Chain A
Amino acid sequence: MGIKQKVEILKALARGAKILILDEPTAVLAPQETEQLFKELIYLKEQGHTIIFISHKIREVKRISDHVTVMRGGICEGTWKTVDKTEQEISRKIVGFEIDTDLVKQDINLQESRIQVRDVNYHDKENVPILKDVNFTVKGGTILGIAGIQGNGQVELIELMTKSRKMQSGSIIINGQDIQKINMKQLRNTSFGYIPEDRLRQGIAKDATIMENIISNKYNEKEYCNHGLLLRKKCNRFANEEIQSYGIKCSGTGHKTGMLSGGNMQKVVVARECNAQPKVLIAEQPTRGVDLGAAHIIHKQLLKLRDEGCAILLISADLNEVMKLSDAIIVIYEGEIVAYYPEVSGISEARLGLCMLGVERHDSKTIKGAI
């Protein structure tokens, strides 16, 4: 992804673009790469290019822009000189209300191991190794963050864990079940939740209503289904509660999910996955392309699940998010775990970035701590 991004920018420049529109260009970059991109952008600006930089990351906007325009719900909230506004002021404009950016985190309530990944190796068709000896454990009541630049094996790891790829060696045990021996339905029945990276592909059925999307992991339960017939009233009532509590903007439970904005679609996915009281949750880029308000709701929900004893594996390209939510972090580089931080406090973003780029790595004893 990072390389694709660079190619896109180069392509635009090579064609002699005078105006560059960058939509979330740093979402997939490591801090060092972002830094490099910014240097180039500033250079381009000085050369007389006009650059429109669209981002959810206020710090970056603050750093790179001369003027800032805030859009919320399709309405322009105003344009200011960047130097005139503080980060807090800008974020207030974006959200429309004050958000406590410091989420309250309760003490860890450690429980038994819920996800055990052991000696997982994976190579693609050309025999190129994608994952090398991946080992880690996630206990109930904790969030393990996986940091890493995209394309370093995270996608494959998750696809192995969600059974959309065949295992080659090693084992993955979720809720005490070897996932190779059970099917998706059985895996779901172990109280397993999954917030996929690509919500359009795996997360929702676009042409189905919100209600139909929200009940997809419980339509089989007695409460919602009697003798094979769906209990429409109960389903709708449940969907309505979710719409209310997540603040999903829609005309009702019958609204086509595909007509929602990205953020609201993601809320549908999160509402569904979190309300089945999962014991294990894999959250893959849970807030990508989601507005700040929605991201905040999603973060709060993840922490609530953690406090209730859920084991959460969080994969995100947004380092901030990983650091904010996780209890421990592993860094993955070229399919290998290169660093393990048992505690998040005191990690410097720069050091983490160096690990993500493969410049630095922890010794194997520290990495074994992840097991």
Chain B
Amino acid sequence: MSREKSFNILRTVVAMIIATLVAFTIILLVSENPLESIKTFIIGPFTSLRYLGNIVEVAIPLTFSGLAMAVLFQTSLFNLGAEGIFFLSGALGALVSIWVPLPGFIHPLFAILVGGTAGAAVMLIPGILKAKFGASELVTSLMLNNILLGVGCYILNNVMRDPNVSSLVSFKFAETALLAKLITGTKVHTGLLIAIGTVIVVYIFLYKSKWGYELRMTGINKEFAEFSGINIVKVIILAHIVAGFLSGMGGVIENLGMHKRFEWTALPGYGFDGAMIAMLAGNNPIGVVGAALFVAYLRIGADLVNRFSDIPTEMISILQCVIILLISAERFLHKYKQKWIEKEAK
């Protein structure tokens, strides 16, 4: 491993530690029984199989959104459309799960395929606008999120709402569509296997294939890529399609794995979490797994603290902000970076 790489890992760890320390400080200030709260926060998630399962369950959708964002970030595209796609693809996957009669195994796969394809198709909008007309993908994707939310809500309200239930939810998914549980005593579902497979595929795509090479070179230096004969327009569109497909998959898998009905009525937040996770992971697909598990662990810890002590779960948002701030700050620990790398030269 190069010295620079190991430095980046070290930096990420330091950022995590600082964020955790911030959490402690907040707990100390707010809690009446700080020690007990901290203990719950840190050790709590490991105390039972169910909590461990919770971490994995939360990490599965985060992995998909993290992967989608990693692909975009590697191409230097700051597109946050994964958020809306999670929602819309989830709704479309729900439609398939409710009304398309298919045998088990094929049913969820088909639903995931539909969600993924829809995600890719939707991502084409900011993708083509960016590649052909230079429209900022950040702006178009953020606006698109609201449109997708509207479309998804329309489908839920007018097409698949179950009138027999008082709250705004869809009809029940067909039994054949649900993702099977993997571990009894938890809600960990086969989506985990799909996630692991996807991570490997995305890793190979990014680092071993020529398309990934084109994509990364474009991300690092667009002009260089252009002079090397890489077709930038194609690369930008490809990155969007892949990211859209990944987010779409995530949206459907989360629904079929964790829910019996489509229950989202607002944007679920996974898209934005994905940005943080990709950043934590240094945009590396393998790193995304670790980052997703870490964020999931924080969430479950916060949830437990919320349940068993007097600390509100909002604390975790503060924590996440601190982490993002430190990771995204290029110059954080910059002084030490030079020294660290120079050591190698000696």
Contact = CB atoms under 8 A, between A and B. Distances in A.
Contacts of A217: 228-229
Interface size class of B (residues with CB under 8 A): 20 to 34
Nearest to A252: B2
Interface centre among B4, B204, B227 (most CB of A within 10 A): B227
A232 interface: yes
B211 A206 contact: no
Contacts of B220: 205-208
A206 B221 CA distance: 8
Contact of B225 (A164, A189, A205, A251): A205
A225 B217 contact: no
B213 interface: yes
Contacts of A256: 2, 4
A257 to B, nearest CB: 9
Contact of A230 (B213, B221, B224, B231): B213
A230 B207 CA distance: 9
B308 to A, nearest CB: 45
Given A229-B208, A232-B208, A254-B2, A202 B213 contact: no
Given A188-B228, A202-B224, A212 B344 contact: no
A204 B217 CA distance: 9
B22 interface: no
B314 interface: no
Given A201-B223, A202-B224, A232-B208, A183 B4 contact: no
A16 interface: no
B210 A220 contact: yes
A286 interface: no
Interface of B is mostly: helix
Interface in B190-231: 204, 208-211, 213, 216-217, 220-221, 223-231
Contacts of A205: 217, 220-221, 224-225
B344 A251 contact: yes
B341 interface: yes
A184 B227 contact: yes
B212 to A, nearest CB: 8
Interface size class of A (residues with CB under 8 A): 20 to 34
Contacts, number: 72
Nearest to A218: B228
Given A205-B220, A251-B344, A256-B4, A228 B210 contact: yes
Interface centre among B208, B216, B223 (most CB of A within 10 A): B223
Nearest to A196: B227
A216 B4 contact: no
Interface in A152-209: 162, 164, 183-185, 187-189, 194, 196, 201-208
Contacts of A196: 227
A203 B217 CA distance: 12
Interface string A239-272: 0000000000001001110010000000000000
Nearest to B208: A229
Contact of A216 (B208, B211, B224, B341): B224
A243 to B, nearest CB: 15
Nearest to B221: A205
A255 B210 contact: no
A230 B213 CA distance: 9
A219 interface: yes
A216 to B, nearest CB: 4
A183 B344 contact: no
A188 B226 CA distance: 11
Given A204-B221, A205-B225, A229 B216 contact: no
A207 B74 CA distance: 11
B227 A162 contact: yes
B228 to A, nearest CB: 4
Interface of B: 2, 4, 204, 208-211, 213, 216-217, 220-221, 223-231, 341, 344
Given A184-B229, A185-B231, 18 more contacts: A184-B226, A184-B227, A189-B229, A201-B224, A203-B227, A205-B220, A212-B216, A216-B217, A228-B210, A229-B209, A230-B208, A230-B209, A230-B213, A251-B2, A251-B344, A254-B2, A256-B4, A259-B4
Nearest 8 A/B pairs, CB to CB: A185-B229, A188-B229, A205-B220, A216-B228, A205-B221, A207-B220, A205-B224, A202-B223
28 contacts: A184-B227, A184-B229, A185-B230, A201-B221, A201-B223, A202-B224, A202-B226, A203-B227, A205-B221, A206-B220, A206-B221, A207-B220, A208-B216, A208-B220, A208-B221, A212-B217, A217-B229, A219-B213, A220-B210, A228-B210, A229-B204, A229-B208, A229-B209, A251-B2, A251-B344, A255-B2, A256-B2, A259-B4
